[in-house]
Chains A and B, each alone.
Chain A
């Protein structure tokens, strides 16, 4: 059977079927791409929440228990003074001991002229030291580990 103009209906419908198959593949990819974009946007929209956590590994008697954790802001200070973000009454800690800062995409650790020094993975911190997730920080008798932020509940 031919359409006017000599076009074979079977050839035409077969061609349409083939194109429809390819079209369906791209419909799938388009839907996936939309979902992925939405997913990425929702992540970047909810990102400023937690930037990381400090988990206590060990501390002196009467200090925060091992396993306790603190959610971190972009600037987190550690010391004995009550004005610090994490204030611990540890005799080995200076009043303003150390500061953790989130700059751009990663964490940095700085000693604030403490008496006993701040240690990153056992090595004393001099100047600004880059800090990765899983690294251990020691200030006074307090040993803490920087952990990844907890994933947001929603989404």
Chain B
């Protein structure tokens, strides 16, 4: 039973044999081909004759992906081979869209140069790829997440409080936190911290939560002390809405919380209770906060204020209609007024509308299919995980990406009320890209068959049934 402990060099990953990743390489080749075709289509439309255009940014991006692939091969990682190409395709589509949009939408001065939208996005994409590669290669054990779940939760709450105090308003929502010249949206890393905490908490208390003991009418509830963290979760979600007006993040946190609770306990009654609380909370917020009421009213009838509040949603609907099945082609859609695009914040919240207009229904469905692929891979990693913590962590990380995509795509196509969050891997923005790279890097690390086995369970403090040998010896 006692395995011989691996040598320190092996543990650190030095004595590794390179291992080819043929499937990943083949898929990445298709991705590269598709992106070059897309770039050529964009350049030809803009130039008015057949052209390849400026391939420097795309080349940089593809070079970054190739470097990540080579790093996985050289370190002999046996992790999932489908996630990286799928994420690479979404990032590449993001780059094409950013190159096509007016570059002046976002301009930042960096070491004496004014960098435009696409240049900044390439920088963020490369940074995210580097983070993803480092996590997938270096992480060989999950103890740093498993053992310190309450520390992570404390860090998350500190981050949240920091936004309450020092946050900066963006479009009426308090989202940005600036540290010197660098600004970011803490709601993005917060979702990862939340999943880590919930996975740790639910894995440790799964049995107690699954075995109900408190009764409330027809509902069977977990023992009361274990209900408190769940009510705290609901409180956090409500506070995020109440104080920051960040509806999207609140919805995402609460949805992922309910999913994980169901995965851990397989109890429909908890989910039903959670949904009831959600409906009650929504009704209260609708009455109290004009922001919430506005979003719901626009969703029900954007025509009530076509030039004001409903403008964004209506333009997105027109963009979807203009796109049709095959799309207008990259570079041919989106009539912009000077440097202003037709849809406000098209580079982040409404990027899906841009994709649907220029790449059509087929392109938009392909993007959605990519999220499905991520869901399949992530849940497979969860299903084959060696213990509860890893299973819940993998499932939670997957859901946080997929549910976020569903919420914002639903908002774009007026299926659900619009809430301002990013489309993972496609929207412009550093916080979003970095946080989602964190998610995929951890998923890749979890999928590696070479990672350390989970630690042995800690002995129970509980006294067991009669006849226990404990206390005798």
Q: Which residues of A contact B (CB under 8 A)?
A: 10, 13-15, 17-22, 24-29, 31-32, 35-36, 39, 57-61, 65, 67-69, 92, 116-117, 119, 121-124, 132-136, 138, 140-141, 143, 145, 147-148, 150-151
Q: State whether A122 touches B465 (Cβ < 8 A).
A: yes
- Nearest chain B residue, comparing its CB with the CB of A124: B465
Complex: how many Å from CA A132 to CA B283?
A: 38
- Nearest chain A residue, comparing its CB with the CB of B48: A10
B176 to chain A, nearest CB (A): 34
Complex: how many Å from CA A20 to CA B34?
A: 8
B468 to chain A, nearest CB (A): 7
Q: State whether B89 touches A21 (Cβ < 8 A).
A: no
- B63 in contact (CB, < 8 A): no
Q: State whether A148 touches B387 (Cβ < 8 A).
A: yes
Complex: how many Å from CA A122 to CA B456?
A: 20
Q: State whether B467 touches A116 (Cβ < 8 A).
A: yes
Complex: how many Å from CA A116 to CA B459?
A: 23
- Nearest chain B residue, comparing its CB with the CB of A22: B362
- B27 in contact (CB, < 8 A): yes
* A-B pairs with beta carbons under 8 Å apart, 10 shown: A10-B48, A18-B326, A21-B330, A24-B34, A36-B376, A39-B380, A67-B456, A119-B465, A124-B465, A138-B467
Complex: how many Å from CA A57 to CA B457?
A: 9
- Nearest chain A residue, comparing its CB with the CB of B370: A29
Q: State whether B44 touches A14 (Cβ < 8 A).
A: yes
Q: State whether B467 touches A140 (Cβ < 8 A).
A: yes
User: Which of A17, A19, A119 interacts with B464 by CB under 8 Å?
Assistant: A119
Top-6 shortest CB links A-B:
A24-B34, A119-B465, A25-B366, A21-B37, A18-B329, A17-B41
- B293 in contact (CB, < 8 A): no
B391 to chain A, nearest CB (A): 8
Complex: how many Å from CA A145 to CA B459?
A: 11
Complex: how many Å from CA A139 to CA B422?
A: 53
- B327 in contact (CB, < 8 A): yes
Of the stretches B110-118, B193-201, B205-213, B249-257, the one at the interface is: B205-213
- Nearest chain B residue, comparing its CB with the CB of A59: B469
**Residues in A neighbouring B30, C-beta threshold 8 A:** 24, 27-28, 31
**Residues in A neighbouring B37, C-beta threshold 8 A:** 17, 20-21, 24
A80 to chain B, nearest CB (A): 14
Q: State whether A122 touches B464 (Cβ < 8 A).
A: yes
- B40 in contact (CB, < 8 A): yes
Kindly identify, within residues 309 to 330 of chain B, every residue whose CB is under 8 Å from any CB belonging to chain A: 326-327, 329-330
Q: State whether B34 touches A151 (Cβ < 8 A).
A: no
- Nearest chain A residue, comparing its CB with the CB of B38: A21
Q: State whether B206 touches A134 (Cβ < 8 A).
A: yes
- Nearest chain A residue, comparing its CB with the CB of B390: A148
**Residues in A neighbouring B49, C-beta threshold 8 A:** 10
A-B contacts besides A17-B50, A28-B89, A35-B27, 6 pairs, CB < 8 Å: A14-B50, A21-B41, A22-B327, A22-B360, A145-B457, A151-B386
Complex: how many Å from CA A45 to CA B358?
A: 43
Complex: how many Å from CA A35 to CA B22?
A: 12
- B142 in contact (CB, < 8 A): no
**Residues in A neighbouring B385, C-beta threshold 8 A:** 148
User: Which of A19, A24, A135, A147 interacts with B326 by CB under 8 Å?
Assistant: A19
Q: State whether B470 touches A58 (Cβ < 8 A).
A: yes
Q: State whether A35 touches B82 (Cβ < 8 A).
A: yes
Complex: how many Å from CA A135 to CA B81?
A: 33
Complex: how many Å from CA A117 to CA B462?
A: 19
- B449 in contact (CB, < 8 A): yes
- B339 in contact (CB, < 8 A): no
Complex: how many Å from CA A132 to CA B45?
A: 59
Over the window 6-46 of chain B, the binary record of Cβ atoms lying under 8 Å from chain A Cβ atoms (1 yes, 0 no) is 00000000000000000100110011011001101100110
**Residues in B neighbouring A20, C-beta threshold 8 A:** 37, 41
Complex: how many Å from CA A127 to CA B378?
A: 37
Known: A10-B49, A36-B82. A31 touches B26 (CB 8 A): yes
A134 to chain B, nearest CB (A): 6
Q: State whether B469 touches A58 (Cβ < 8 A).
A: yes
Over the window 72-83 of chain B, the binary record of Cβ atoms lying under 8 Å from chain A Cβ atoms (1 yes, 0 no) is 000000000110
Complex: how many Å from CA A151 to CA B386?
A: 8
Known: A22-B326, A67-B456. A29 touches B40 (CB 8 A): no
